[in-house]
Amino acid sequence: MSAAERVIRGAAALGTGLGLTFRTMLRRKVTVRYPVEKLPTSHRFHGLLSLPIDPETGKDRCIICFQCERICPDRCIHIEAEGKGKERQLSRFDIEMDKCCYCGLCVEVCPTEAIVFVPHYETSTYNRARLLYSHDDLNRAAPKEPIATGIVARRRP
Amino acid sequence: MSTGMPPAGTGVPAEPQPRRTQLGPLAQVVEVLDSLPGGGLILTTVESALNWGRASSLWPLTFGLACCAIEMMAAFASRFDLDRIGVIPRATPRQADLMIVAGRCSIKMAPIVRRLWEQMPEPRYVISMGSCATCGGPFFYDNYSILKGVDQVVPVDVYVPGCPPRPEALIEGILKLQERIKKEPFLRRQALAALDGRAGAR
Amino acid sequence: MPLRTEELLLNMGPQHPSTHGVLRLVVTLDGENITDVRPDIGYLHSSVEKMMEHRTYVQNVALTDRGMDYLIALNNEAAYCLAVEALAGVEVPERGRYLRVIFQELNRIASHLVWLGTWGIDLGATTLFLWCFRERERELDLFEQVTGGRLHHVYFRIGGVYADVPDGWAGACRDFLEYFLPHIDEYHQLLTQNPIFEARTRGVGVIGRREAVAMGASGPVARASGIAYDVRKAVPYEVYDRLGFDVPVQASGDCFARYLVRLEEMRQSVRIIRQALKDLPAGEFRARVPVAMKPPRGEVYVRTESPRGTLGMYVVSDGGESPYRVKIRAPSFSNLYALTEIMRGWKIADIIAILGSIDIVLSDVDR
């Protein structure tokens, strides 16, 4: 291949690439301006684990069967119960959210759908100890720290 | 300037004094300004302007260890585009002021993480991204090779849980760090550290 | 007076933007020419094989995502589930098998997109990175609607899949494929004709046919060297024997050939997914398997075709609740071995191109 031919071929290829890039520039933008606008998560999204309160009974649906504690591959669920028979109730239901790998095995084995995923992912924290979610936190299914806005706070509509 | 050591030859240990490091010229100005009436106001205004600048241009070290690095890359890519909040990845620790430890850190890797952190200029921040970097996560039990939390080797400012966290979760962690940076006594830092008797602020 | 020259020992990594993780290469240089390359691995060793011996068969599915190659979580799960199913004699329902194939191929596309994007950055084509991740995000949305995860899914279970696809998902998947196919042509337009890209990849890092066989290379690396071997064709698993697809082969064995093979593989994956979506049977998607399953005493070795090559899974059972031993045949590990041989004699700038074209994932190498 002669030098001139190479130059022509190179220029043609460069033109094709740049033309494509310019055409893409005119297409619809894909960027999501995150803190201001948020993408909807799917209803199956593995966000935060929670024990939602049943509005009929005013309590969560946990029947203390220890299945989630047993299946958890990370051993991050800790359940303790006291009392016997019908009096039995939870004295401890903690999930170490920093150890959790969000695999969903606990949700799968739960016979009463007491433990579920909530599509909430904004859970970063300054202190690792706050990632230990107690029974109350899991019932509330809310983050322990307020959601950050950073320097984009003023741009919020 | 006192060195805190007993004078030679006396044999009697001197009263332990708080060690005072030499103040730089900037810190001296700050100290003088702080003592003047109305000086605090000027200082705080300047400080908030500086902090706004620092928080708006956090340059992280692209430091992918494992799975979370892919989500970190996704956060830098087109949909989430961290560049728009001033987070531009740098490939060398010398130019970075934020280290995102993304993924599990093995015991073999731990000294390197520490060295990279030491190579970063101050003030420096660390975000621990993902369960594995936060405390070992799925690799906490029955494991001989993974460090149980990267905060055993470097001080962590923000923990982002998730396995791996969504890119939005990482951005939220960075925003949280920005909030913290904005509240920092940046100018008084050196003076405060000198008064505390600690050399070098953190 | 002759100029005194010395060999230079250069450490690349473990923190290097182009080593795709935490690989350390100890490079011996003579001027700019490479005389020797010794990879130092183990910076991401996560002892996952040992951990699997301490967890039950069901729990281990979650570990295969993370401990092995993290870009191809679903392919790892498939290999593990196939091995345990063969051990326990579990029959997977038809629909479960088809869903598994669809998701494995989707994951293959996602993995190749990450490879193309990061390799593009290594070679100076930043646009490619942004474009590949743009397509990948749309694909991850599809994953999220079904499995709930973006990168780690824990979707396959021993005996099938965790949940059926939601209504309308198949249509969304077809839409994605429609959207995705023209983009492969765009990558071609950007790169294949580009003189800079050609200069950096064509004829660089050649692995000969014999060398590839001798060093145990597999997957796209082997296929780019003229070896038409694909486990999906040779030992069909799941329902691959019923689906029509071609195995792309290139003869030249250089970086450019590996690039072409992977781009063509994405096209073939699209073809497979379309067929599987069309043939997707109704009915059960999961066989009944007890949570505390105890496969009979025995051992099994299962081969699958992961995006990086032959992924083997060797599981030994002693009749208990957890495996007695699990050994993973990682494709990246063998391919990395091939890399050290082919780098000799090239310039230092070619390390990046060759390393990227092999497509190693350090989590897979170290396990």
Which residues are CB-contacts of C53 (< 8 A; sequence separation ≥ 6)? C322, C323, C324, C325, C326
Contact C246, C268 (CB under 8 A): yes
User: Which residues is B160 bridged to in the sheet?
Assistant: B129
| Structure-token pair, residue C9 | 């020992």
Does C194 reach chain A within 8 Å, measured CB to CB? yes
- On average, the pLDDT of chain C sits at 87
Statement to judge: residues A67 and A98 lie in one domain: yes
Pairing of strands C24-30, C8-12: antiparallel
CA A56 – CA A61 distance, rounded (Å): 10
Tens digits of residue pLDDT in B73-116: 888 888 888 888 888 888 888 888 899 888 888 888 889 889 88
Neighbours of B127 (CB within 10 A): 24
Statement to judge: residues A18 and A58 lie in one domain: no
CA C145 – CA B29 distance, rounded (Å): 58
Is A134 a domain residue? Answer: yes
Tens digits of residue pLDDT in A56-92: 888 888 888 888 888 888 888 988 888 887 788 888 8
Is A148 a domain residue? Answer: no
Instruction: Find chain A residues with C-beta within 8 A of C62's C-beta.
Output: 73, 101, 103, 105
Q: Residue B16: what pLDDT? A: 58
Of A97, A99, A150, the CB nearest to B140: A99
Statement to judge: residues A118 and A88 lie in one domain: yes
Is A24 a domain residue? Answer: yes
Per-domain boundaries in chain B? 25-55+185-192, 58-178
Inter-chain CB proximity C17 and B91 less than 8 Å: yes
Distance set, CA A106 to CA A43, A103, A110, A111 (Å): 17, 8, 6, 10
For chain A, the three-class secondary structure string (H helix, E strand, C coil) is CCHHHHHHHHHHHHHHHHHHHHHHHCCCCCCCCCCCCCCCCCCCCCCEEECCCCCCCCCCCCCCCCHHHHHCCCCCEEEEEECCHHHCEEEEEEEECCCCCCCCHHHHHCCCCCCEEECCCCCCECCHHHHEECHHHHHHCCCCCCCCCHHHHHHCC
Contact C328, C317 (CB under 8 A): no
> Distance from C230 to chain B by nearest Cα, in Å?
27
Query: Once rounded to an integer, what is the mean pLDDT over residues C271-282?
Result: 89
Does B112 reach chain C within 8 Å, measured CB to CB? yes
Best of B78, B134, B148 to disrupt the A interface by mutation (most A CBs within 10 Å)?
B134
Instruction: Give C142 or C21, the one with higher predicted confidence.
Output: C142
Q: Residue B5: what pLDDT? A: 47
Statement to judge: residues A25 and A54 lie in one domain: no
Is A137 a domain residue? Answer: yes
Burial tier of B59 (Cβ tally within 10 Å: 0-12, 13-18, 19+) = middle
With cut-offs at 50, 70 and 90, classify the pLDDT of residue B201: very low
Statement to judge: residues A22 and A52 lie in one domain: no
Tens digits of residue pLDDT in C20-35: 778 888 888 888 888 8
Which residue on chain B is closest to A122 by alpha carbon?
B169
First to last CA, chain A: 60
Residue C203 DSSP one-character state: T
Contact C189, A18 (CB under 8 A): no
For residue A155, is pLDDT > 60? no
Best of B71, B168, B170 to disrupt the A interface by mutation (most A CBs within 10 Å)?
B168
Statement to judge: residues A56 and A131 lie in one domain: yes
Instruction: Find chain A residues with C-beta within 8 A of B151's C-beta.
Output: 128
User: Which residues is A53 bridged to in the sheet?
Assistant: none
Q: Residue B182: what pLDDT? A: 85
Which residues are CB-contacts of C41 (< 8 A; sequence separation ≥ 6)? C23, C24, C336, C362, C365, C366
Statement to judge: residues A53 and A113 lie in one domain: yes
Tens digits of residue pLDDT in C147-189: 888 888 888 988 888 888 888 888 999 999 999 998 898 888 8
Taking any CB pair shorter than 8 Å as contact, residues of chain B touching chain A are: 52, 55-56, 78-81, 84-85, 131, 134-138, 140-141, 149, 151, 156-163, 165-166, 168-169, 171-180, 182
Q: Residue C314: what pLDDT? A: 92
| Structure-token pair, residue B26 | 């900037």
Which residues are CB-contacts of C110 (< 8 A; sequence separation ≥ 6)? C71, C136, C139, C140, C143
Statement to judge: residues A77 and A25 lie in one domain: no
- Indicate the range of A124-133, B41-50, C10-19 predicted with least confidence: C10-19
CA C173 – CA B166 distance, rounded (Å): 21
Q: Residue B3: what pLDDT? A: 45
Inter-chain CB proximity C60 and A101 less than 8 Å: no
> Distance from B145 to chain C by nearest Cα, in Å?
6
Which residue on chain C is closest to B108 by alpha carbon?
C43
Instruction: Find chain A residues with C-beta within 8 A of B134's C-beta.
Output: 98, 128, 131
CA A70 – CA C59 distance, rounded (Å): 10
The HSE-up count of residue A93 (CA atoms within 13 Å, CB side) is: 23
For residue A1, is pLDDT > 70? no
* ipTM (interface predicted TM): 0.86
Tens digits of residue pLDDT in C253-265: 888 999 999 999 9
Which residue on chain C is closest to B64 by alpha carbon?
C21
The domains of chain C, with CATH numbers, are 44-366 (1.10.645.10)
Inter-chain CB proximity C144 and A117 less than 8 Å: no
Domain that holds residue A115: 48-143
Statement to judge: residues A12 and A79 lie in one domain: no
Tens digits of residue pLDDT in C309-359: 899 999 999 988 889 999 998 888 888 887 777 888 888 888 888 888 888
The reply to whether CATH 2.60.120.650 applies to domain B58-178 is no
- Among residues of chain C, what percentage have pLDDT more than 70? 99
Inter-chain CB proximity B106 and C70 less than 8 Å: no
